[in-house]
Amino acid sequence: MKKSISDSEVKVLEEKAKHIRRLIIQMLAKAGSGHPGGSLSLTDIITALYFKQMRHNPKDPQWPERDRFHLSKGHCCPALYAVLAESGYFPMEHLWTLRKLGSILQGHPDRRTPGVEVASGSLGQGLSVALGMSLAVRIDNRASRVYCAMGDGETQEGNVWEAAMASSHYKSDNLCAIIDYNGFQIDGCTKEIMNLEPMVDKWRSFGWHTIEIDGHNMKEILAAFSEAETIKGKPAIIIAHTVKGKGVSFMENVLEFHGRAPTQEEAEKALKELE
């Protein structure tokens, strides 16, 4: 059943990711607040998940055999909302209501959005949520896989390591975590605020299969997901080296854009770059 990847398919996904980036910029500019940096660094990974890797059905979000995705780094929900809308979970026009009163698209994800499994926003809990899903899938003998996208900064939360320990204890090989390792958190570089290194060694020592990739190389992303599926008896984690603000020159590695939306003028400039 493993998907082979052709060059033309990779090209289509890369174009899709560019389109998702455009939607993210447009949503955030319209909303006037939000988190572009981490949304853009996650874009290629989440695009690969929703448009290639995951088995899911936008017409039946609760399809029991679906693969599950949980966005632990909830503040990067613009990326999630864009792929959900693009997949057909809800009409595109909702994207322009992001963060507005009464919107189905809250500032951090919750279950009023079709396709969102579990709310997030309070960092460090998502891997636990994903572990809970993976154990439920096991009880029901389903083939579903569970994906959990985490931020790098949030691994400073102790809860993450409780979940890391338990996932390998329970040999959750249907669980694949992804760390969007862009090296920045709100207050600065992770190296300066609270060093995360050696990241790969940490996960390995907790009993995980680790895969290190360039989180913007579509081929590497897809190959990593395929490799994770072959791992038996332990959970897998993809440590994806990414660039915060990826795709927009004046946002790349600029701390300010962790949590500031682009102005209308900046958005227009960004959209030109993403043509």
The residue ranges that bind other proteins (CB under 8 A) are 64, 68, 70, 110-111, 117-122, 125-126, 128-137, 139-140, 158-159, 162-163, 165-166, 169-170
Terminal Cα-to-Cα distance of the chain (whole angstroms): 35
Q: Which are the contacts of 173, defined by CB distance < 8 A and separation ≥ 6?
A: 231, 232, 233, 234, 235, 236
For other proteins, the closer CB: 123 or 222 = 123
Separation between Cα atoms, residue 135 and residue 129, nearest integer Å: 10
Smaller CB separation from other proteins, 64 or 91:
64
Q: Which CB sits closer to other proteins, 34 or 74? A: 74
**Strands 236-241 and 209-214, sheet pairing:** parallel
CB of 138 to other proteins, least distance (A): 8
**Dihedral, 83, 89, 94, 97 alpha carbons, nearest 10:** -70
Q: Which is nearer to other proteins, 47 or 113 (CB)?
A: 113
The least distance separating other proteins from the CB of residue 51, rounded to whole angstroms, comes to: 23
Chain center to CA of 207: 22
- Minimum distance from CB of 52 to other proteins (Å)? 24
Closest contact distance (angstroms) between CB of 172 and other proteins is: 11
Report yes or no: 25 and 270 within 8 Å, Cβ to Cβ: yes
